[in-house]
Chain A
Amino acid sequence: MEHSVISASNFNAWFGDNHAVKDVSIKIEKNQVIAVMGPSGCGKTTFLRCINRMHELVPGARTEGMLKLYADDIYTMNPIYVRYKIGMVFQRPNPFPNLSIYDNVVAGYKLNGLKIPKVEMDHIVEKSLTSAALWNEVKDSLHKKGTFLSGGQQQRLCIARAIAMEPEVILFDEPTSALDPISTSSIEALFHELKANYTLIIVTHNMQQAARVSDKTAFFYLGELVEFDNTRQMFTAPKDKRTQNYITGRFS
């Protein structure tokens, strides 16, 4: 039997006494784009950060239940290895301000002290920047600081940085909410390209965006996964009342 890329069963997460993710079970298939939606504070970010084990870095945070990458239990793997395999792109573009564009792309290798021949490094940089649709814009300024780029370019640089590690899954936490409409649409176009090689899980507040880019949508409400279905199905005929209320704008 083929395993799902990510599968959760009865997964829970807490911040101290705050039960932020409740009993979530979900199966995410390879090469799909999954949109994660729901009102603010319903645990979307927390769930995402459980998948690459960033949640446990918050003091007092804990988890329970099963979360797997293919057949492997994410919570018995080495967290460092988990984060190699599951990349993350944040809400605000966060390139390393002390590194050049080139070094930002291979930051995952350099900061980990992994020695790689220069030719191979050059190749990774070009390939990742091309995949992130940024190569043409920066190929002449690879040794400038990454922070000279515009917000949208910085976000694509962060995507290139994640891609460079050749992950299985890339997590996006509201990746366009800090960007202007043009940068947003260039990132959305990128999702279509990326899904050929990666599985994408994207938290978004923007319903049009979810409809445009995702194959399936997960709707979270107060820490629970209320509904998980094909995006089209979800937006035309949601099964749960809460999903329906959300997409018709009855609460945000």
Chain B
Amino acid sequence: MDARLKVRNTKSIVFKSIIIFLAFVITIPLIIILLYIIKQGVTQVNWHFLTHVPAPVGETGGGISNALLGSIIIVALSSLIAIPTGILTGIYLSENATTRLAYYAGLCVDILQGVPSIVVGMVVYFWIVKPLGTFSALSGSVALAIMMLPIVIRSTEQTLKLLPDSLKEAALSLGVPYHRVILKVIVPCGFAGILSGIMLSVARIVGETAPLLFTAFGNPYLSAAITKPMQSLPLLIFNYATSPYDEWHNLAWGASFILLMFVLLLNIFTKLITRKWNIQL
């Protein structure tokens, strides 16, 4: 009896050790990657770096202001397109879950989520870039908005579905019309969940390169015109990291560092928001 207990105990200790060891093995490369990006990038970042366009080959200095501004504009534009449509679709799916339209819409959302980003880029290329005859920030934003949509839709839908019916009934029993119940009660109560979905979707697209390659295309100069080609952080990294020049590699490392910090901050923000604004039901 005693011996068997001992065997079991040993087994459980061995098992635990293996799990801890594996967790380490998996975490270590991640940490190494993070540290490496920080080490390569952090020394590049200063005010000059953030406010100047890349220097031509052979000159020192230069920065990533064009990519930074471009990323901000493109992501803002995609959010403008994807957030309202995504939230509305999410509300529809959670409110009318049993309808045929909701079923097919849900199916489309799932499929959309699985479409490779390069394919989204190609579709937008044929739909917008070719007819307009030029690469543009706008087309890049449309491509990224398509990538954002499924995340915003699903997170809105799932958040709202978790709210109890009693909440809606309380409002309806006070004579509040249906559309106001949705806008004034249901959406505010699901605010934290919807917002964290939005943040996740932004974090997801800010580093997307493939759909921008043949939509926003890139631009070595500072530009804020949404109908013209525009630079973005991931495009800059892609172009400069594959160049043969050391200065350009350094720019790419700096841009990677900025991108990494942005995503990190976004994730921390999301955590804080869900904790602070989570509604106690």
Which residues from chain B contact A52 at a C-beta distance below 8 Å?
173
Which residues of A have CB within 8 Å of B184?
110-111
Contact assessment for A145 and B280 in the assembled complex, using a CB-CB cutoff below 8 Å: yes
- Is A94 within 8 A of B177, CB to CB? no
Question: Which residues of chain B come closer than 8 Å to A82, judged between CB atoms?
Answer: 175
1/0 per residue, CB under 8 A from B, across A68-91: the answer is: 000000000001111110011010
A97–B171 CB distance below 8 A: no
Give 1 or 0 for each of B183-219: 1 = CB within 8 Å of chain A CB. Answer: 0110011010000000000000000000000000000
- Tell me if B189 and A97 are in contact (CB < 8 A): yes
- Of chain B, the residue at the smallest CB distance from A52 is B173
Complex Cα–Cα for A57 and B95 (A): 13
Q: Among the listed B167, B170, B177, B281, which residue makes an inter-chain contact with A80, where contact means beta carbons less than 8 Å apart?
A: B177
A96-B185, A97-B281, A98-B185 known; A107-B173 Cβ under 8 A: no
The interface residues of chain B, by DSSP majority, are classed as helix
For B181, what are the chain A residues with a Cβ–Cβ distance below 8 Å?
111
How large, as a class, is the contact surface on chain B?
Answer: 20 to 34
Q: Is B110 an interface residue (CB 8 A)?
A: no
Interface pair A112/B180, CB less than 8 Å apart: yes
Please name all residues of chain A whose beta carbon is closer than 8 Å to the beta carbon of B171 when the two chains form the complex.
Answer: 96, 107, 111
* A112 pairs with B175, CB closer than 8 A: yes
Instruction: Indicate which residue in A83, A92, A96, A113 contacts B173 across the interface (CB closer than 8 Å).
Output: A83
Contact A90-B170, Cβ < 8 Å, known A98-B188, A111-B185, A145-B280:
yes
A30 at the interface (CB under 8 A from B): no
Mark interface residues in B150-170 (1 if CB within 8 Å of A CB, else 0). 000000000000001011011
What are the residues of chain B within 8 A of A92 when measuring CB–CB?
166
Please report which residues of chain B, range 19-41, place their CB below 8 angstroms from some CB of chain A when the two chains form the complex: none
Q: Are B281 and A147 within 8 A (Cβ)? A: yes
Does B272 have its Cβ within 8 Å of any Cβ on chain A? no
State which of B180, B280, B281 has its C-beta within 8 Å of the C-beta of A111: B180
> A63 vs B181: C-alpha distance in the bound complex, in angstroms?
24
Proximity bits, B126-170, A CB within 8 Å = 1, else 0: 000000000000000000000000000000000000001011011
Interface: B261 (CB within 8 A): no
* A90 with B169, Cβ < 8 A, contacts A98-B188, A147-B280 known: yes
Closest to A95 in B: B170
Complex: A87 Cα to B171 Cα, angstroms = 11
Q: How far is the CA of A97 from the CA of B278 in the complex (A)?
A: 10
Q: A54 interface residue, CB < 8 Å from B? A: yes
How far, in whole Å, are A9 and B110 apart by their CA atoms in the complex? 51
Are A83 and B180 in contact (CB-based, < 8 A)? Answer: no
Check B176–A98 contact: CB distance below 8 A: no
A210 at the B interface (CB under 8 A): no
Min distance, Cβ A174 to any Cβ of chain B, angstroms: 13
What chain A residues lie within 8 Å of B281 (beta carbons)?
97, 147
Complex CA distance for A80 and B175, rounded to whole angstroms: 4
Of all chain B residues, which has the CB nearest A113? Answer: B180
Residues of A close to B175: CB separation below 8 A: 79-84, 108, 112, 165
* B280 smallest CB distance to A (angstroms): 5
Interface residue B174 (Cβ < 8 Å from any Cβ of A): yes
Query: Which residues of A are found within 8 Å of B265, using beta-carbon distances?
Result: none
B172 sits at the interface (CB 8 A): yes
In the complex, whether A161 has a CB less than 8 A from a CB of chain B is yes
Contact with B along A31-43 (1 / 0, CB 8 A): 0000000000000
- Give bound CA distance, A56 to B191, whole Å: 29
**Chain A residues in the interface with B (C-beta under 8 A):** 52, 54, 57, 79-84, 87-88, 90, 92, 94-98, 107-108, 110-113, 145, 147-148, 158, 161-162, 165
Chain B residues with CB under 8 Å of chain A are 164, 166-167, 169-177, 180-181, 184-185, 188-189, 191, 279-281
* In the A-B complex, the 4 residue pairs with the closest CB atoms: A83-B175, A108-B174, A88-B173, A94-B166
Q: A96-B167, A98-B279 are in contact. List 4 more A-B contacts (CB 8 A).
A: A54-B172, A87-B173, A97-B281, A111-B180
Q: Would you list 6 pairs from A and B whose C-beta atoms are within 8 A, ordered by A residue?
A: A84-B174, A92-B166, A97-B167, A112-B180, A161-B174, A162-B173
